[in-house]
Copies of this chain bind each other. A is one copy, B any other.
């Protein structure tokens, strides 16, 4: 269970014990440290976190509600499968939400907003470690969609990013590094404020990553 040591929890409001356990386990599953089909042991997790069984069980239930684990009464708690079908569904919703959000974002974006995005891209370009690069890229996307100025839309996009996360990290394990998805190109088309062109390029970008992930899922 030492692999959980690497995670820090973004503490928001007061967290209960089960929240903390949930959050650590969730990150570990999303980032692929626990793989599909792997069994999670209540005993080792509760020892690791030095908590009673209750918060661990509560955390399992939350993970189940988010579809990350399946609780089998006889077998135990198993990390749920990832599937091409689910991935295709996620990609479809991602394209729908992000195209809409970027359109709205471009209507609102100021030069100052573009500066902030420019800084994120510079951070991405300097970063060597692939996993950290991915986090910066996600931040870049999310900063753009924030500009759409609709917090409900934004929360839906965050949810999709969460779900996409497991696949992105799977991708990262195979691809290790790639310069192909440098996001400067995306920023440049955003800056052009040409909405039609931006939507075409954004959709192509999402589909391009998605195709690569699908190839990995098929060959896995």
Chain A residues with CB under 8 Å of chain B are 13, 16, 58, 61, 64, 86, 89-90, 92-93, 96-97, 100, 150-153, 156, 159-160, 163
Find chain B residues with CB under 8 A from A150 CB: 89, 92-93
Q: Can you pick out 23 interface pairs between chain A and chain B where the beta carbons lie within 8 Å of each other? A: A13-B64, A16-B58, A16-B61, A86-B151, A86-B152, A89-B150, A89-B151, A89-B152, A89-B153, A90-B152, A92-B150, A92-B152, A93-B150, A93-B152, A93-B153, A96-B96, A96-B97, A96-B100, A96-B153, A152-B160, A152-B163, A156-B156, A156-B159
The quantity of this chain's copies bound in the complex is: 2
Find chain B residues with CB under 8 A from A152 CB: 86, 89-90, 92-93, 160, 163
For the complex, what is the distance from the CA of A163 to the CA of B151, rounded to whole Å? 13
Closest to A156 in B: B156
Find chain B residues with CB under 8 A from A100 CB: 96
For the complex, what is the distance from the CA of A100 to the CA of B151, rounded to whole Å? 20
- Tell me how far the C-beta of A133 lies from the nearest C-beta in chain B, rounded to whole angstroms: 26
Given contacts A58-B16, A61-B16, contact A156 B89 (CB under 8 A): no
Closest to A73 in B: B14
Ranked nearest first, the 10 interchain pairs of A and B with the lowest CB-CB distance are A89-B152, A89-B150, A93-B153, A93-B152, A96-B100, A90-B152, A156-B156, A92-B150, A89-B151, A93-B156
- Tell me how far the C-beta of A207 lies from the nearest C-beta in chain B, rounded to whole angstroms: 16
- Tell me how far the C-beta of A156 lies from the nearest C-beta in chain B, rounded to whole angstroms: 6
- Tell me how far the C-beta of A68 lies from the nearest C-beta in chain B, rounded to whole angstroms: 14
Closest to A16 in B: B61
Closest to A90 in B: B152
For the complex, what is the distance from the CA of A159 to the CA of B157, rounded to whole Å? 13
- Decide if B92 touches A153 in the complex (CB within 8 Å): yes
Find chain B residues with CB under 8 A from A86 CB: 151-152
For the complex, what is the distance from the CA of A64 to the CA of B152, rounded to whole Å? 15
For the complex, what is the distance from the CA of A96 to the CA of B163, rounded to whole Å? 20
For the complex, what is the distance from the CA of A152 to the CA of B152, rounded to whole Å? 16
- Tell me how far the C-beta of A18 lies from the nearest C-beta in chain B, rounded to whole angstroms: 8
